[in-house]
Structure formats: C-alpha cells, structure tokens
Chain A
Amino acid sequence: MIAEHFPILVILTPLLSAILIPLVGMIRRQLCWHVAFVASHIGFLISGWLLLRVRDTGRISYWLGGWEPPWGIEYVLDDLNALVLLVISFIAFMSVLYARKSIEAEIEPVRIPAFYSIFMLFVTGLMGIVITGDVFNLYVFLEISSLAGYALIAANRKKEALLASYNYLILGTIAATFILIGIGYLYMVTGSLNMADLRERLPSLYHSKVVLTAFAFFTVGLSLKLALFPLHVWLPNAYTYAPSVVSAVMAATATKVGAYVLLRIMFTVFSVEFDLHVVSITSILLFLSLTAIVAGSVLAIAQTNIKRMLAYSSVGQIGYIVLGATIVNETAMTGSILHILNHALMKGTLFFVAGCVIYKTGIKDISGLKGMARRMPFSMAAFTIAGLSMVGVPLTVGFVSKWHIALGAIQADMWYLVPVILLSSLLTAVYFGRVIETIYFSKEPGAKKSGSGLNEPRGRAGVQEAPFGMLLPTLILAALCIVFGAAASTSVSYAGAAARLLLGGM
C-alpha cells in the first residue's frame, strides 16, 4: 500500500519536484509555480494523514530500503515530530501559494525556476530533519536545508542580501560542523547513529568526557542554528534583506526546526536525567532564554524597519520556546511545543503582511505605514490580529502558549520567571502598539486627519489591497491565530501528547 511509504514520500515529493522544476522551467517558466504548488500541497496532505495516523496507532517506524536499524536509516514519526512536520508542510504550502506573485516582483524572471527548485530543496531539507530517526541523516538534511537557505536569502541579489547570506553561511557552516563533530563523537563511543539506539546505549556513558564534549558541540551548534541569544547575530540581516516569502518561511520554520532538533537531542537521544543532573544544561539555557526574551523585545523597540523589528521579535520568541523546554515539566513543555505551532502562525502572518506592503507600495519602514489601514484594510487587519496575538491577548494563540509556559513555571516553583514573561509581553505591546497606532490612527502623508482608518468614505487613493494570491495565505494564517486561540483544545492535546513523550521517554 502506498500509505506505508508515506514517510519516504513526504520527503521524495519535494525532492523530485526540485529536480523537475528546472526541467519544466526550460519548457514553460509559468509552470514552475504549479509544480511547486502541487508538490507542497501533497506534502501537506501526507503530513496531515501521518499525524492522524500517529494519534491513532502510535509511533510509526519506516526502514529505508528495508534495512533494519541501527545499521539502516530509520524514519520515525511520533507525537512530536508528526506535529512539527505538519506545521512545516503547512507553512511551506502557504508560502508557495504566496510566492507566486511575491516572487515576480522581487526576483528576475529568468531565475524563477531556480528559485522554486531551491525552495523545494529547502523544504525537503526541513522535512527530512524532522522525520528522520538517524542523526547522521539529520546532518545531511540539515546541510541541504542550510545551503538552500543561503541561496534563497541571496536570491534577490541585493548587496545587503548577499552579505547577509554570506554571514549566515559562515556561521551556519560553523554550526553544522559543530553538530557533525557531536555526531562523530557519539558514533565513536556507541557505534550507532540511530536515535532510539543511542538512547539505550548512552546512559552508561553519560559521564565520559567524549559524550559530554559531544553534547557541548551539539548545544552550541544548535544554538547558532536556532538563533538563541547571543548567537543570533545572523538572523536580523538575513530576515530583513531576503525576499519576503523567504523571510516568512524561514521565520516560521527554520528556527522551529532548530528548536525541534534541540528537543530531540536533549530529551530523546539524551534524557531528562542527563539534562538536569549530569550536565545542568537546563540552567544555562534557562538563563540564555530569559536574556533572549528580554533582549529581543528591547531591541525590537529600537527598530524602524518593519522586517528588522519582526526579526528581533523572533529572537525573543525563540527564547520562549527554549524557556518552556528548560522548565522540564509537562505544562511548560506543552507550552513550548505549542509555541512552535503558534509562533509559526503569528510570524508567518506578520512577514506575509510585510511582504504584501512591500509588493504593493515598496514601503519598508514603519513610518511609511501611516494610515495604511485605509489602503490595505485586510492586510492590516491580519497584522493587527497577529500583533495582538504576539502580545498575548486572550482568544489568540499567543495567549495559549504563554499561559502554559507561565503556569508551568509556577508549577515548578519557578514563579520568578513569570514577571519576565509578562514583562516581555509589555515590551511587545510597545512596539506592536506603535505600529498599530500608525496603521490606523495616523494620517496618510498628504491626507487630512479624519479619525480612524475605518472611516467612510475611503481615502483618496481608495483600497489597493495586495493581490488575492498573497492575501489569501495571509488571511488564512491570521484566522488560524484566532481559531487555535479560542478553540485551543485540539492543538493543546497534540502538544501535550508530544510533551509527555519527550519527558517520559521514547
């Protein structure tokens, strides 16, 4: 049955499309998007099916080529990565939908086939990282997605983008190398590359220096990939200067995948006991994540460029995800995993809107958004919803994950963390509030002040909304910010199952 091969199909589909697209592009350039669209759609559907299957029957294990692990490569789907896989594939799907118009404006036509091809490679890499159960395979996919990512950032060939991509390349390669060293060390002492197998073999070696060194390399390498403060320096420039759809998809997926890998290494390959007692990595990461949360929010306030503000905001949000993981109880971990989903939705919406604005008006600065609510009411509404969600207003997704992390902190007797979490909400309110006020209540340059942006009749230029192909994914994501915020029980139960899995064992 073909369904048995879904785990490999979900990787093969984007991979094959990446090969197919340049060929198609030679025949008719317009068809490239269609191929990408179909491939990402299929990937999304398969991921959804896999998640439901995992909920029903439990862990799925797929042996590549029929070779038995730990010698063969194994693809594993459990509560955690099935969820993450769905998030990634959904965002990828939405991004492809969005990219059609967005890319036409930002990239030279002759390069579009190459762009879609590399984009699908990027998606392949990400999904591979999530689905694989073998650490070396993970490294391979990590490199695929990273290299594709560097190319994507530089796709619009602007000077700043090239430089940002180059810097990211240097740091990303260092990170990948560290991860490889970690993998190498683990292989050296255990003879195994399979995650489940490693989990069994490692405990007797927990105190060996090699294992400790390996863990150190993993942590540093992943922190770089994850953009955990202070190793985040590549992120602001990369997100700001990349093409809009690339910023969106990277903000919503790449760092989340990094978080996923960190969780896997910390809790599946190694174990909770290791993290708490052998190496107090949780304390170190706790401190770093708190710093990230505060620093990210403070630095975001100082920004005038929309995308750069969102980039620093992401640095802060990544802090939340790591914070939830370091509290090591079920509630907080649920919040952390929820935030992987929720932040993908929120940041995806925000970057999509930024892209809509750039597409329609070329405006990149916050001050340029004055009175934009009149011209682009739907995009701005989506921005407002996502912004309120970032602040953590109830009935939005942002509230749900913050609630869990804060509650988890209290349950773990670390209630002193709660003021920091809440303080960052306040800081977030400052920079988003400012943008929202500019959008709705400032006068357009040249227009008379006439109250709120929801006025009738419409402003001078009338409504000039972004094209439907870009607006639709934006609105879908924004709507989901509310849907999963008000009717949160589904996402909470999935995340809860994943959390229990991580903390309880395999």
Chain B
Amino acid sequence: MTISTFPPFMVFFAGALMVLLLKGRLRSAVLMCIPVIGFLNLISTPEGTHWTVHFLEHTLIFGKVDKLSLAFGAVYHLITLIAVIYSLHVRERGHHSVSLLLSGSGVGAVFSGDLISLFIFWEIMAVAGTLLVWMGSGRGAAPAGMRYFIVHLFGGLFFLFGALLHIQATGTADFGFIGLGSLASWLLFISFGINCAWPGLHAWIPDAYPQTTPAGAVFMWTFTTKTAVFVLLRAFPGTELLIWIGAVMAVFPVFFALIENNLRRVLAYGLINQLGFMVAGIGIGTPLSINGTVSHVICHILYNALLVMSMGAVLHRTGKIHCTDLGGLCKSMPLTTAFCIVGAVSISGFPLFSGFVSKSMVLEAAGIGQMAMVWILLMIAVIGDFQSVGIKVPYRAFFAHDAGLSPKEAPPHMLAAMGIAAFFCIAVGVYPSVLYAMLPYPVDFQPYTAAHVVTTCQLLLFGALAYLLFVRFGLLTPERRATNLDADWFYRKGAQAFMWVVNRPAARVAQWFSAAVFDRMPAFLAWFGRNPLAALKIGGDLILLFFSSGQHRQKIAQRIKQEKEIFPGDIMKRWPVGTSVLWVTMFLLAYLLVYYLK
C-alpha cells in the first residue's frame, strides 16, 4: 500500500457525493473532471496488488491491477466521461450522483481482488441500478425498478451463499480462478449469470432498461453486464458450458428484437446478443478468444453507447421511442442519424469499424478449435445482430415511413458525446493496434486480411440485399403497439400470485389467530367465569352428546338448549351425589400423579 495513487472507485464515489452539493456550471465542470482525474489516477497505478484492508477477519483487496482489470478500468473511465457529457442536461442532482455511484462500483468491482469487496460493489451496483430505473419518468418505471431490485438482490444472495461456502472451503476470500465444481462455484456461476443475462435469467434487461432516462441509459447498458463478463473472465475462463450458453445467448434475442416495437427494448435484446459473443469467448478460453472477449467488451461499450445515445436523443427530442411513432427523422436530425449509422455499422462488424476487429477474434478462436456448431451459431448471430439492430434501429427511427415529426437536432452536449464515441468506433476500426495493446495476451491476429474483408462484406451485403428485397416486395411486417412476453412472465405472474397469497390467506390466518387468542378466548373465559359449575355441566353434556346417538341424542340436545338459556342461572343448584364422588376421585388421581412425579 505504498503507492501514491488511490483506489479508482474512490474518485467516483467522492465525485458522487460532491455532485450532490453543487449546481449549474460548476457541477457540470466537476462532473467532467471526475472521469479524467480517475483516468490519470488509473494510469499512474502500477500493476500488482494494492490497497488491502482487514474486515471481518479477511483481507480485502481493492487493487488487483493487471492487464485485464486495467483494460476494463480504462474503458469504464472513458465511457463514464462520454456518459457524463451526454447527461449534462439533467438537472436532478440525485441522477448524477447515482450514475457515478453505478460507474464507481463497476470500477471498484473490476479492481477487486477478493470476494468480500467484490460483493460490496456488486450490491452497490444493484442499488444504484435500481435507483436509476426508478428515476425514469414512465409509468412502468416504479414496478420495473422493484423487479430489478428483487432480481439483483436474488442474484446477490446466490453470490453471498456461494462466497461463504467458498471462503469456508478454501480458507481465503481471494478472488481468482474458481472453475465449476463445488456447490459454491455453481452458486457463484449462477449469480454471475443473472447479471450477465444468460438465457432464462435475461428478462430483467428488456424489462428494466427501457424504463431509464435517456441519460441514465448509457450507464445502465454498460456497467452491470460488463462487470459480470469481467468476473466470469476471472473465475470461469475455459468453462465449456459457457460456450454453449454464449452461443444460445447470441441467437435467441434476435427473434425478440425483430418483433419488438420499442426501440430501446430492441437495443436491450441487442445487448444480450452481444453479451453472447463475450460469454462464448470466455468459454473457449484460449488466449485468442480471451483477447477477443476483452476487445469485444471495449468496442461494444463504445458502439452500443453510441446507439443508446442516439435513441436517447430521439426520445429526448420527440418524447417517443416506438417504431410506430417514429420515422423520417433523418431530415431534421441529420447528425444524430449519422452517429446512429456509425454505431449500427460498427455493431454489425463492417470493415473499417471497431466491430470488425473484435468479433472476428472470437469467431477465429472457434474456428481454430474446430467448434463447428458454435462457429455456425455465432455467424448466424452476426447476421441476426446486423438485421435486428444494425438495420432496424436506424431504419425505423430515421427512415422508413415519415411520422411527420420534425424535432430539433440533438443538443450540442449529446452530439459531442456521440461524436467522441463515434470517433473511437472508427479509430479502433482503422487502427486496431491501439486496442490490441490493451489486451491481456499478446496479439498475433490480423483482422485486415483480404479474405476476411471480402467474406465479411459478402455476408453483410447479401444480408442487406435480403432486407432490401423484403422491403421492395412489401414483406416487411409493420410494427404494432403490443406487449411481447419474455421469461419475466413467470415471475411477474408468479409475483402477482405470491402477493395474492400473502395478502389474503396468510394475513387472514394471522388475523384469525389473533382474534382467537384475544377475542374469543377472553370472551369464553368471561362466559365461563359467570357460573363455572353450570358451564362445566354444559361441557359435560356436550361430551355426552358427542358420544350418544338416536333418542338419547335428542334428549341431551334438548337439555343443553335449556341449560344455555338459563345460564348463568342459579348457582346453588343441588348436586347429585354421583357428581361429588366423581370430583373426589379426580382429586385423588391428581394427588397421586403429583406424588409420582416427585
């Protein structure tokens, strides 16, 4: 702990606090400085293990600095700067503060060297994300945020359980390679998977992400999921299961995106598709595929942010985000359109843009490993991605039918942010060695081979041809306002059922119980107390009634009725001798029992 820099997350957290106290121009200036200061702090930090603290009998490591964490850390800082610039128009202090909390905890998690500090950041990310969703202005933001909270807390519980078991079994809380095997590892695996949006565990992304504000979206789309990718890189590289999870993840969202009307929900599905590439790359586990994953993370963060920002700008200016409400905006928002196209072209993987130099690494790794099925699935995913995001998003928003809207161009700060992101998308595409220098393993990969360029162009251009033919022959389905179900159906309907149970039967049982103890019992005792002997007689008769039948039954019932009517009646009724004998015998029995017990 003898270096002169401080843990990167501290800059963000301190910034989050400071921002709460500032207003106006000063705040904007401070906001922009925070990621810059953080970045300067970051690059001055040497590789190694720093900033350890003792907590709960374990060593917390806040600075596990190596090429991997530096790569993630660097791109996190960059995207924070971009996102902060993009969100300068937001007037709520809480919004800025929470966004910095989210990015700060992402940064903290990436440099975390042990499970406990990782868990701390994991939970802070969950809370910050929830708050960002709740800040959205739509009607659905409140329940979506609640669901987001529950899902992430649920994931956090798996994390905690797995972490506890792991720490107990290994005796240390250090976070490094874990590998699938023990119960603990499976629990952690699933926990990471929830944040990484694996198939089945993915529905929270299309549910919650479209509810955020345009500015908050840039933060949301980036940190939670990429941090999950990071931890998978650390703990489970080379796990074969991940290859298949990733391959499936890359393909199925395309179908959902194609029928989706809300363009930000389309981008949410697109995110899952991209994550699939990363996860598959982790699963393959070779240096090339790991490199591919990391470079994909970096490129993806930038071009995805670009797309999210352009859609955010549209939402900001028009108040609309559904395909049915949009179209023809290219005339009134030309720059936004251009930026969106840059992002779309990048995500599809066209040469000269960043997607081309990163996706191909994972595919190449699959090829080298002779994983035919995986390779095919990933190739399909490339097309699907192109189709559902690369073409659909710009087309529906800016071209297609004219919706008659003529909003102003996006405000300058948004354009600036988009410009920076676009710059990097093109720069990395044209000059990939800058990117390759950041990767954990030495890079021996040449993206710009003639063959590669040609085959990619064929792939994408003929896909585009198919699209044009669809349009030409009117086969393209127009979008409609509708709800498309996804895996969240299970827990949304399930939650409704659960709440019904809680509110009706469970609470009723509690009420009945209380009433029985507090109302009926005292009432009975009061009734009994007025004439205990007569009450005992009634009780005795009731027992007789239970055991008798036929005629006797009727007689006894009659008697009971009479007794209840005259209750409490005259206390001093004459007792038959038999009753007294019964009492004496019972007392004797009681004494004998007590004697035996002693």
A interface residues with partner B (beta carbon < 8 Å): 167, 170, 209-210, 230, 233, 236-237, 298-299, 301-302, 388, 391, 393-395, 400, 403, 406-407, 410-411, 415, 418-419, 422-423, 425-426, 429-430, 433-434, 437, 440-442, 449, 451-456, 488-489, 492
Contacts and interface: CB of A to CB of B under 8 A. Distances in A.
B355 interface: no
B135 A451 contact: yes
Contact of B157 (A301, A400, A422, A456): A422
B135 A441 contact: yes
A296 to B, nearest CB: 11
Interface in B107-152: 116, 119-120, 123-124, 127, 130-131, 134-135, 137, 141-142, 145-146, 149-150
Contacts of B510: 299
Looking at A430, A440, A492, the one whose CB has the most chain B CB atoms below 10 A away is A430
Interface string B164-185: 1101100000000000000000
Nearest to A171: B517
Given A167-B518, A209-B597, A418-B161, A301 B502 contact: yes
Interface in B74-89: none
The 3 closest A-B pairs by CB, nearest first: A454-B94, A422-B157, A394-B120
Looking at A418, A425, A449, A452, the one whose CB has the most chain B CB atoms below 10 A away is A452
8 contacts: A298-B502, A302-B503, A302-B507, A394-B119, A418-B161, A419-B161, A426-B154, A437-B145
Contact of B164 (A400, A406, A434, A441): A406
Interface in B1-45: 20, 23
B570 interface: no
B513 to A, nearest CB: 7
Given A393-B127, A437-B145, 14 more contacts: A210-B598, A233-B513, A233-B514, A406-B160, A410-B165, A426-B150, A434-B146, A441-B135, A441-B141, A441-B145, A442-B142, A452-B134, A453-B94, A488-B55
Contacts of A453: 94
A434 B503 CA distance: 15
B450 interface: no
Nearest to B23: A456
B117 to A, nearest CB: 9
Contact of A395 (B93, B120, B164, B518): B120
A422 B55 contact: no
Nearest to A457: B91
Interface of A is mostly: helix
A429 B150 contact: yes
Interface of B: 20, 23, 54-56, 91-95, 97, 116, 119-120, 123-124, 127, 130-131, 134-135, 137, 141-142, 145-146, 149-150, 153-154, 157, 160-161, 164-165, 167-168, 499, 502-503, 506-507, 510, 513-514, 517-518, 522, 597-598
Contacts of B92: 451-452, 454-456
Nearest to B121: A394
A36 B499 CA distance: 45
Contact of A441 (B55, B97, B142, B597): B142
A437 B131 CA distance: 9
A456 B91 contact: yes
Nearest to B126: A393
A241 B539 CA distance: 37
A451 B134 CA distance: 8
Contacts of B55: 488-489
Contact of A456 (B93, B142, B502, B518): B93
A406 B137 CA distance: 39
A95 to B, nearest CB: 27
Contact of A233 (B130, B499, B517): B517
Given A403-B56, A441-B141, A433 B149 contact: yes
Nearest to B183: A415
A437 B54 contact: no
Contacts of B518: 167, 233
Contacts of B130: 433
Given A301-B502, A452-B95, A415 B165 contact: yes
Contacts of B598: 210
B165 A429 contact: no
Contacts of B137: 449, 451
Nearest to B93: A454
Looking at B23, B54, B120, the one whose CB has the most chain A CB atoms below 10 A away is B120
Nearest to B495: A430
Nearest to A406: B164
Looking at B124, B149, B503, B522, the one whose CB has the most chain A CB atoms below 10 A away is B149
A140 B150 CA distance: 47
Contact of A410 (B54, B97, B164, B522): B164
Contacts of A301: 499, 502
A402 to B, nearest CB: 8
